[in-house]
Amino acid sequence: MTTEQNHFAYALSSNDAWAGYKSNQNPNFFSKLAAGQAPKILWLGCSDSRCPETTILGLQPGDVFVHRNIANIISPTDINTAAVIEYSVAVLKVKHVVLCGHTCCGGAAAALGDGRVGGVLDTWLTPLKAIRNIHREELESIQEEKDRAIRIAELNVQYGVKVLMANITIQEAIKERGLELHGCIFDLTTGRLKDLGCGTSKAIAGSESQLGDLVRVQDAQLVIGDSSAKMTIAAV
């Protein structure tokens, strides 16, 4: 058996153990999950394997509707992104849209350079390189390469939020039912989310996240307030 097959076999075994644990913890967990979904959050993030949204947020299957791509680029002409937004916002009626970038992003690092990545990736990263060109003076003034990559990742989120704010489905939901839009950065070195203060509301000083709602999950409640969050276990 090859190393790759070993990894997959381990994943299957791990899944079996997880399913057994969840069923034992809450016998109704999977039947409720199969009955339908009512996520409160749409997460638009990077495909990076180190940024699993449900794990980052401490939530459960069914709590977060997800769309991820290389470098979390939001393009108004991307029909994939548009379809995810329309379904989650107009049909599922999520309460929050979160656009999240992250530190140590390979796409951000690639956009800072002039070399070719190869294939379709060069085309995909064009909007990020455009952001680099617009902010070239600021970015070149940052001495540390890792700090430049973090800064362009932040700028990418800010520009993405502007694109999202121009989306008609999001505009209508903001006007009609108070949909909230948030721009964040996930710090891989600390595991914390940073609210960049762009979107429908400003960042709260001292807070790591501003979802401002009670997110109910099958086995627990993650309560996110103005300056803190706590996890409480719900009755099974």
63 annotated to a ligand binding site: no
Q: Exactly one of 51, 100, 105, 198 is catalytic; which is it?
A: 105
- Which one of the listed residues 63, 96, 100, 102 is annotated catalytic? 102
The residue to which tokens 């989306």 are assigned: 167
Distance CA 122, CA 137 (A): 22
Q: Does 102 belong to an annotated binding site?
A: yes
Of 7, 16, 50, 122, catalytic: 50
Is 7 a residue of the active site?
Answer: no
- Judge whether 67 counts as a catalytic residue: no
| Contact predicate 46/108, CB 8 Å | no
The reply to whether 46 belongs to the active site is yes
Mode of pairing for the β-strands spanning 96-102 and 41-46: parallel
Q: Is 50 a known active-site residue?
A: yes
Q: Are 65 and 94 in contact (CB under 8 A)?
A: yes
Is 104 among the annotated ligand-binding positions? no
Cα distances (Å, whole numbers) of residue 200 to 96, 147, 168, 174: 10, 27, 15, 8
Residue with tokens 């960042």: 203
Distance CA 220, CA 236 (A): 9
**184 belongs to the catalytic site:** no
Catalytic residue from among 46, 51, 100, 198: 46
Tokens coding 115:
């070399």
Q: Please, what sign has the CA dihedral across residues 107, 109, 112, 114? A: negative
The active-site residue, picked from 48, 100, 132, 198, is 48
Residue set of the binding site for Zn(2+): 46, 48, 102, 105
Residue set of the binding site: 46, 48, 102, 105
Known catalytic residues? 46, 48, 50, 102, 105
